[in-house]
Amino acid sequence: TRLWVCRGLACMLRGAYELIDHCEAKLGVRCGHTTEDGAVTLEFAECIGACDGAPACLRDDAHVMNVTPDKADQLIAELRVK
């Protein structure tokens, strides 16, 4: 599963870089890499077209809007079970 964190302008202004740092720490990988268990590949995107829900992520092809660190933790837990 690919988890894309948007770092476009709207997302950046609402905490995208902190969210990327959080996801990297939670998953134990840097952007562009896959977790050791092969479950999640963390990526960043310049814009995913979800500015009204910034900061936003893409879970494969589905938007996840207004992502907080807690919401990211929940999303990551769901991805690891998949």
Closest CA to 11 of 48, 63, 59: 48
* Continuous H helices in the chain: 9-13, 16-27, 69-81
Tens digits of residue pLDDT in 35-44: 999 999 999 9
Best CA proximity match to 72, nearest among 38, 7, 21:
21
CA 52 – CA 59 distance, rounded (Å): 17
Under-70 pLDDT residues of the chain: 82
What predicted TM-score, i.e. pTM, was given to this entire model? 0.93
